Structure 1
Amino acid sequence: MTIRGYDEGWRVMGRRTEWWCGRTVMTCMAALCAVAVLPGPARAQAREQGMAAGSPVPYAFADDARQVEGASNRTEAVQLAPGGTYRSSLQNNEKAYYRLRLDSASNAYVSATAVPRAGTTVASSDGIKVSLQDSAGRTCFSGDADEARFGPTGSPRPLTAWASRRAGPDGLACQTAGTYYVAVERTSRADSSPDDWSLELQYVSEPALEKTGPTTAPETWNSASPEPVSGTAQPRRGGTSFNDARALEEGVWKGGIRAGQTLYYRVPVDWGQQLYATAELGAADGDGFLGTALVMSLHNPVRAFVGNARTEYDGTPRAAVLEPLPAVAYENRYTVDDQVGGMRFAGWYYLAAHLAAETADKFGDGAIELLLSVRVSGAPGAEPAYAGAAEPRGVFEVTEEDTDAAASGATAASGREGGDSDATMKLVAAGGIGAGSVLVLGLGVWTVVARRRAGGSSAMASGAVARGYEPPRAP
């Protein structure tokens, strides 16, 4: 089992409430138009949470995530389907169970991202643990069970942990077909915030190979640090979650990050390629020192933790540099080293940069410049000869469309380009039809009301009701 004190991300989640936009038609129209121009998962989150225009976008759960309840005992656990993404919740010191149905050949990976409410008080030892168990309650000791903790940053943020069943002759347990259970446990102090944490679960299935290959991880690989990436830094804003992570290709990228915020990016890494990444925090006015200010975490295509880098901060530029990683290879999984074992398949790799909430106390709550330097070296190699298709399909490959997305800065959810210079116009274009329809409808209603008032008709008694959440505060 791996226990970590540093992870990616935070999530802002508002309190459920009801708001009224019936005082004027235009108030309702403004709110609906603001929602219409938001991209991808952010738009769905806005509908659910009643987000006002200009509010920070919270952690963007997958648009197609199915709502499920974690069971307190295994006999009542709901079954998860391969390739599926789910939403759930977790109480303090609770263990929630979910059911899997596995064959004897496929590899199974289940990740759980726990999302505390904004403003939640957390301890460095608070976190989550994910494990996979067989029908007799025995843990699958495959070496891929994970525990994630908040660590010294002290920020409430998304924590992602994972577990797996590795099939094949090298597997240590859980080799037969049958019913298995995923246990997601919240490990918090008794005096920690009692609020529920939201959960996002993802279940990825990897098919067996057509024939067994090498079962030994490479002992040597190029671990030398590469030459720094040259060129002018280009603007590229990060996403708010795995689901809307912003695509990057090799280069230097710049944006801003605020205290308590986590920004998500994704990089396509093919078979045989190596990934290098550095996150640099720019200068800021203020006085003080933080031992852990910026943390950059790397997750592989199944959201499994690979490694992280962190740096202290005193208001002068500081950099967090990931240790050199081996090239992507199927046989990397046959090791106990997280960084080597995590580079076991091609696909989208996720970078999550988190700035400690305490940074605001010493250097203000304004955005600090964040520079990301990304290098992908090596020519793409041949993929393993899989005997079937992964679920979800395409998760372990890099396509021409993926390469194009990295060049344009598309989000993971929609494929929409993410350049900053024309970001506002792209948002408007994305929601133009919906917003225009709302505007025409609203003007029509307004006109009817005005005519009725002019004719002596009574005014409307009430307006439309929209249900959602109270907008969260900016970090």
Structure 2
Amino acid sequence: MTTGTVTRRLLATGSVLLVAAFAPAWQPVASYAEDTPGSADPGRMVLVLDSSGSMKERTGAGETKIAAAREALTKVVGSLPDEQAVGLRVYGAEVFSRDDPGACTDSRLVVPVETGNRDRLREAVGRYTPYGETPIGHALQEAGRDLGSGGKRTIVLVSDGEPTCTPDPCVVARDLAQQGVDLTIDVVGLDVDGRARDALSCIADAGNGDYYDVDSADELTASLEKLATRAGRPYATIGEPVTGTPTSQGAPEIGAGDWLDELGPEDSEASVRTYLVRRTAPGSTLHVGASVKSARDAGDDWLKVDLSRTDGSSCSSAGEINQLAEGQLTTAAAVAGPIDTFGDVRTSPECSTDETLIATVIRESGEAGTPVEVRVLELPPVRDPASLPERYDGEPPWPAPPSGTASPVTGGSSFQDAPLLEPGVYEDSIVPGEVLTYQVEADWGQQVSALVDYPKVTGTELGDAVGMVDMLTQVRIYDPARADASQLSAGGPNSQNWLYDTGEDVGAATLPVAFRNSDRFADQAGTYTVSVFLEEDPDGESYLVPFTLRLGVTGEPSGEPEFVAAGEAPSASAAPSASASASPQEPAAGKPGTTGTSAAGAATASSAGPGLPTVLAGLGALAVVAAGYLLLRSRGGWTR
């Protein structure tokens, strides 16, 4: 075992202890989003397919390569989103031998890059036959022209062999990648080895993309669906642009909504961003959260959010240390309201009555120019919060998630594009270095659980790749605030473990959702996000690892709080005092189709933007908060 491997093992083990030690110390983020799946520009994509004579050969699974390609492509075309502009280019389809004129320029766009062309794509795939040479370099050059020069652009190359013509496709891929950061070249090698694999892998590396090894129609389908989904739902930051200051001097004012800033490198002035947060009604609860997506080659990620009064006294401070940060989401959030971090009513109510608070976002590690999404939410008081169930104390029992037949699903890459699922059993695949996200709705009193089962692959090509490689896999569950709500459960699996060819189970569960679980995060009903992470292969290899996701929501709804209605004066029990106060939770959207005025009784929907406080400024202060809450809740999409 190398020194680097030992170091990585020690760091990974330390990360488990640090998560356990620091998890209770940071607060939930308060925010809502207008980032529904598909809201980001899906960009343009072209599939570049190998039509050389070698595609007549059989794969290790026994089928011909051309049959595997046709089957996979037909399925993938049917799953593409309508708004995705896709084209199809083939090479080696018309000129038989390299000795014949035009063999090394034998590439044709058989379906232009556009939307509404799914029937044409399926028809073209059906006519797709193996014939000639392998001019990959020329085909990539032409694919770059097919996509144009602007916006999100993706080339997906499917090939079974090494190039037989100039130009060198690895050089072409590097040239194309230098034309802009929004162009990616992903490559799928169909039953290849040796020099062919090296050549195709070089193309993906040079094109800022991923390389997948597949040897069957099923594996090809899974890899193409993953690539197509990622191209159609790219990770995208959202928010109104704002530039925070290193100190409160001259800090910009922000209100309820989504805001987008940029953090600089560690120890620079730009690593600290400060904002003034304006409260619109005494007794309300303000939540301020921040989230970043780390670079693929990042080390530790340290993110912190402070929320304080203008006299410098602290209302709350929260931070996250993410030691498996490569490509992952790191979040931190703080709350200022009548409920303290342990679910008790504050004896001093200033943090819930001050008109202006100071929010500071600090990143104590990381690269320059990292986008940071800052979210602010203001909630109305809750009627008699002291009468609600107390915070959950102790280790919850493991709620075994459901079993049964698995349905295929493709996970997202962020909070924004995670598919919303019903409790059940799903099958997906993950690439080393990737994080996948899924969402599920939970009501008050219910508990979310997620169990990921990696199958035994001993004796297979995948097993050889996974076997002795040191890769950690991890499951996390974030509450609607995007706080890590994963808890140790009695009798439950580890949330993080090494992946071996003999298979592995990892899982996580939340507490039963309760309003006063402020320091343990499962403190509101709404959308919970499950993330599955697999550490990058130390050798830089890329391959699909299948797994089964068992997603559970257990328990009967109970303990639902009552928020003060719009236009209603707060009662003594709802006002800040020693016995009752406003809640630090976001009223999250509940099950679709339910009714009522509580947080759990709203259907899922979208958002409001940063201009909301201005629009509502002419209304009474308490009515502003309550009306804003009801408006947003009716639209759904609350993610505190």
Common fold, TM-score beyond 0.5? Answer: yes
> Gapped runs of 5+ residues in structure 1?
8-25, 37-43, 404-410, 415-475
Pairs aligned (count): 357
Measure how far apart 1:290 and its partner are.
5.9
Match in the other structure for 2:506: 320
Q: Does 1:206 align with 2:382?
A: no
| Alignment of structure 1 residues 62-461 onto 2, 5 Å | 65-82=239-256, 84-93=257-266, 94-102=271-279, 103-118=281-296, 121-124=297-300, 126-141=301-316, 145-151=317-323, 153=324, 155-168=326-339, 169-170=345-346, 174-188=351-365, 193=367, 195-214=368-387, 217-218=390-391, 223-282=396-455, 283=457, 284-285=462-463, 286=465, 289=468, 293-307=472-486, 309-323=495-509, 325-333=510-518, 336=519, 341-358=520-537, 361=540, 364-381=541-558, 383-388=560-565, 395-400=587-592
Separation in structure 2 between the aligned mates of residue 247 and residue 71 of structure 1, nearest angstrom: 36
- 1:123–1:230: structure 2 CA closer, same or farther, 3 Å change rule? closer
TM-score scaled to structure 2, two decimals? 0.49
**Matching residue of 2:152:** 46
TM-score normalised per structure 1: 0.65
- Say if 1:287 and 1:314, in contact at 8 Å, map to a contact too: yes
Of the two, which has the highest radius of gyration?
2
Q: Write the distance in 1 (CA, Å) between the matches of 2:353 and 2:307.
A: 14
Residue 91 of structure 1: how far off its partner (Å): 0.3
Kindly indicate whether the alpha-carbon contact (under 8 Å) linking 1:243 and 1:413 is maintained by their aligned counterparts in 2: no
Instruction: Please say if residues 401 and 449 of structure 2, whose CA atoms lie closer than 8 Å, have aligned partners that are also in contact.
Output: no
Give the letter aligned to residue 503 of structure 2: P
Question: Which residue identity lines up with residue 386 of structure 2 in the other structure?
Answer: G
Shift of 1:213: 2.7
CA distance in 2, matches of 1:279, 1:387: 40
Q: Distance in 2 between matches of 1:30 and 1:75?
A: 54
Conserved 8 A contact 2:428-2:546: yes
1:115 corresponds to which letter in structure 2? Answer: K
CA distance in 1, matches of 2:333, 2:274: 14
Structure 2 CA distance for aligned equivalents of residues 212 and 150 of structure 1: 33
Q: Does 1 or 2 have the higher relative contact order (CA < 8 Å, sep 6+)?
A: 1
1:137-171 CA distance string (max 9 Å, x none): 23213xxx3222331x3624321111111325426
Following superposition, the deviation at residue 395 of structure 1 comes to: 5.0
Structure 1 residues 291 and 259, CA, compared in 2 at 3 Å: closer, same or farther?
Answer: closer
Deviation at 1:227, TM superposition (A): 4.2
CA contact (8 A) 1:4 1:148 kept: yes
1:167-193 CA distances to partner (integer Å, 9 max, x unpaired)? 2542666233221121111112xxx64
Amino acid at match of 1:298: I
Supply the distance in 1 between the matched residues of 2:415 and 2:397 (Cα, whole angstroms).
29
The two structures, once aligned, show a CA RMSD in angstroms of 3.9
Flag the 1:379–1:139 CA change in 2: closer, same or farther, 3 A.
same
The one-character-per-residue Cα deviations of 1:88-137 (angstroms, maximum 9, x if unpaired) are 1100121111221124312222221112344xx4333x321111121122
- 1:235 CA displacement: 0.8
CA distance, structure 2, for counterparts of residue 291 and residue 111 of structure 1: 33
Q: Secondary structure at the match of 2:399?
A: coil
Give the Cα–Cα distance (whole angstroms) in 2 for the partners of residues 321 and 85 of structure 1. Answer: 31
2:242 aligned partner, one-letter code: V
Distance in 2 of aligned mates of 1:46 and 1:412: 27
Identity of aligned residues (%): 23
Amino acid at match of 2:329: P
Tell me: CA distance 1:4–1:379, structure 2 relative to 1, closer, same or farther (3 Å).
Answer: closer
Q: Deviations over 1:343-395 (max 9, x none)?
A: 1110001111121123664xx311211321111112233631101479xx995
Give 3-state SS (helix, strand or coil) of 2:517's partner.
helix
Preserved CA contact (<8 Å) 2:401 2:551:
no
Inter-partner Cα distance in structure 1 for 2:431 and 2:353: 48
Distance 1:166 1:45 in 2: 43
1:218/1:116 Cα in 2 relative to 1: closer, same or farther (>3 Å)? closer
1:210 Cα deviation from its structure 2 partner: 2.5
Aligned in 2, Cα 1:297/1:226: closer, same or farther, shift over 3 Å? closer
Deviations 1:30-80 (A, max 9, x none): 56659x9xxxxxxx98389645696744763365x2121122221322222
Alpha carbons of structure 1 residues 231 and 299: separation in structure 2 relative to 1, 3 Å: same
Does the residue aligned with 2:335 lie in a helix, a strand or coil?
strand
SS at structure 2 position matched to 1:305? coil
Q: What CA distance in whole angstroms lies between the structure 2 residues aligned with 1:251 and 1:313?
A: 24
> Secondary structure of 1:175's partner?
helix
Distance 1:332 1:226 in 2: 18
SS in 2 for 1:174: helix
1:380-435: CA deviations, max 9, x gaps? 33631101479xx99513132599xxxxxxx9879xxxxxxxxxxxxxxxxxxxxx
CA distance in 1, matches of 2:390, 2:403: 32
Mark the CA change 1:359 to 1:353 in structure 2 (over 3 Å): closer, same or farther.
farther
Does the 8 A contact of 1:241 with 1:264 survive in 2? Answer: yes
Which residue type is aligned with residue 147 of structure 1? G
